[in-house]
Chains A and B, each alone.
Chain A
Amino acid sequence: MTYVGAKLFERELKKGSTELLILSLVEHRPRHGYEISKLIEQRSEGLLKFNVASFYPLLYRLEERGFVIGRWVEKAGQRRRRYYQLTAAGKKVLKDQRSCWADFVHAINRITGEEHA
């Protein structure tokens, strides 16, 4: 049986990790907003889902802080789209957050994992 707190816990986890997720996805190539949100949903197998109202504010916040930069790109035969790309500052933040996250997960696992006799 799940208790009421589980949903809240999940929401907080999601909130805390989204920045890292977005930065990771634009690390190697620029992507547009819909593509990023879609990838998060697919790769988390539906566990992490965003809608237009919850996703774009996060993206814009990252842009405002200078971690990503958005540019309108026109390609032949396609409508123009806004592509987001990691900046130098973003790269550094991603690196820090990634190692921090790994440490955190490792620590949590060590505590919550099965105890060995």
Chain B
Amino acid sequence: MPEWSKEIHAALAGLNLNPAQEASVAEELAQHLEDRYEELRRQGLDDPEVSRLLRDELNNGQLVTEMKGLVSPSPAALSPGQDRHEKPLAGLGNDLRYTLRMLRLNPGFAAVAILSLALGIGANTAIFELLGAVLLRTLPVQSPQRLANIREIHGGRVGSTVARQRNFSFTLWQQIRLQQKAFSGIAAWSTETFDLGQGGEAHDVQGMWVSGRFFDTLGIQPFLGRLLTESDDYRGCGIRGVVISYAFWQRAFGGRADAVGSKLSLDGHPFDVIGVTPASFYGLEIGRNFDVAVPLCSETAIRTEGSWTESATTWWLDVIGRLNSGWTLGKANAQLGSIAPGIFTLTLPPEYDATERRDYLRFGLKAEPAATGVSELRAAYADPLRALLAISGLVLLLACTTNPIGRTFGTRQDEGKPDRLYQIVGLAGDTRYRDIHAEPTPIVFVSLYQAADAGTDSTFVVRSSEAPASLILSLKEAAAKSSLEIVLTFSILRTSILEKLTRERLMATLSGVYGALAAILAIVGIYGIISYMVIRRSSEMGLRIALGAQRRSVVGIVLREATVLVAGGLVVGTVVAIACARMVQTLLYGIKPVDPISLMVAAGGLLTIALISSLLPAVRAASVNPIEALREE
């Protein structure tokens, strides 16, 4: 009987089966041929004839043709852990089991690795949440991508900015509204804190001044009642209707339907609540929700003296517009550019001197996308590190290069009042009063008694060893004794400073967590690499020790190799850091992208960490038992 195996393998060669499969098929076919051979022989055919017959059957080409594409060809390579039935995730279970086993063998390492991963994921999520909320979420209004924020481009202004909104004076806003052609709807707005109370301690609400077409421009529908329209905003409207936010309606009116039509006292003036905005609308500022929207025209009624509306040099309005259909931002900017010179000429404040006039006439107008709202918060987060540095300079003392004591200077007074001349009697260090983020501005300290008109509001700073709660109570009583009309707002300096620093503290914490994480990961990584190296070379270490090397010199060898490794990494890392720093330049404040000291400190710190984490494997290498190590060889 012929030996079929060879011939079958030759016949199957063209199929490129994997070895196991080919062996199985060959065995099966060989058995078949043997059975057939015996059968045919029993029928009386002679050996050469039967062999020829079966050989012809086997080699008629049908086998290869029919089996092509039927049995799976041998895979190119099999990665460890993968099993033979190659589904994409095959072997995942084995890999997971292996991972768990290895982690169990080294629980300390496992804890560090898991913890650093967890912290990393957590910190990333936090930052992305923040980014999403501050930078990416669009305003909850109709087609926010068609909204544009219009602002003034200027190089220094003379006058006052009194609100967070500081792009335009009222007269400028009026001219823009009249002359612009780019926007189908345009509105001015500003923010102010109103007092709900009637004397005594103030109850603040977040107010928003809005021009007549504010809600219409944004495309907001009332949740209840009606919203302010152009007919509510006319010169001399006095104290009339206001619109409240959904959140304030819930908070102050318990969500009652009869809130619409009821009175609301703002800074002692009784306004009518005419409507409630939908819950989704929080205002235009990210991170600052509004409670009450008041028509711009009521400003003169609330602020009977020194109204912002009346002043051409008070910048307190921001302007938002909805682009006409078919208009792009570029086209809108071109139109704004063409009307700007006329507008600034027309609104030139009469009290300006020649220099101020020249500057003012150079101002320009610019429209920017406003789909995601406007926010100081955003600026603060885009520049987190600068803000961080600003804290450290809370009381920044700048040495004065000149000694001006005894000289005099003048201050500009309101119209109709004579300018005053003051004599300088002393110098105080630069201080930030309003905002610790801002650069210190020139400040003149004048005795309250020298001010002819001290104004209607003053801030008193009280330093006391008494507890804040009882101190506030006694201050209230003292004020009430003097007059019942005095309105007081209390804040604890320390608390308000901390509140102002929330963002910075968050950024600092997150940056710190990242730094610590990076260090932990570096430690784990270096420890792992050096340990691996030590294990691989333990016989070499054993040989060295057997030949008389001091254990100390073995530690030295390992540490030296670790240093070379890390030094290489540091060179590459520094190059990458410099390259990346240029990309994140806009995020860096107060330090240059390539700051030699920062880089050196970081590199030094990492080198130290690297040496510490390779110390343990080095000691292990030095404690190798030479006999055992050599026996393994």
Contacts and interface: CB of A to CB of B under 8 A. Distances in A.
Interface of A: 32-34, 37, 51-58, 60-61, 64, 72, 79, 81-82
Interface of B: 24-25, 27-29, 31-33, 35-36, 54, 57-63, 66-67, 70-71
A52 B58 contact: yes
Contacts of B33: 52
A53 B24 CA distance: 15
29 contacts: A33-B28, A33-B31, A33-B32, A34-B32, A34-B35, A37-B32, A51-B57, A51-B60, A52-B29, A52-B54, A52-B58, A53-B57, A53-B58, A53-B59, A53-B60, A53-B63, A54-B62, A56-B25, A56-B28, A56-B63, A57-B62, A57-B66, A57-B70, A58-B66, A60-B70, A60-B71, A64-B70, A81-B31, A82-B27
Contacts of A58: 66
Contacts of A51: 57, 60
A60 B54 contact: no
Nearest to A54: B62
B29 A64 contact: no
A56 B29 contact: yes
Given A52-B32, A57-B70, A60-B71, A72 B24 contact: yes
A5 B62 CA distance: 22
A81 B32 CA distance: 10
B36 A52 contact: yes
A82 B28 contact: yes
A82 B25 CA distance: 10
A61 B29 CA distance: 15
B30 to A, nearest CB: 9
Nearest to B57: A51
Given A57-B63, A57-B70, A60-B71, A52 B57 contact: yes
- Most A CB contacts (10 A, CB to CB) among B57, B58, B61 go to B57
Contact of B31 (A55, A57, A61, A79): A79
In the A-B complex, list the 9 residue pairs whose CB atoms are closest, starting with the nearest: A57-B66, A51-B57, A53-B63, A53-B62, A34-B35, A34-B32, A57-B67, A82-B28, A52-B32
Nearest to A56: B29
Contacts of B67: 56-57, 60
Contact of B66 (A32, A33, A54, A79): A54
B86 to A, nearest CB: 15
Nearest to B66: A57
Nearest to B64: A53
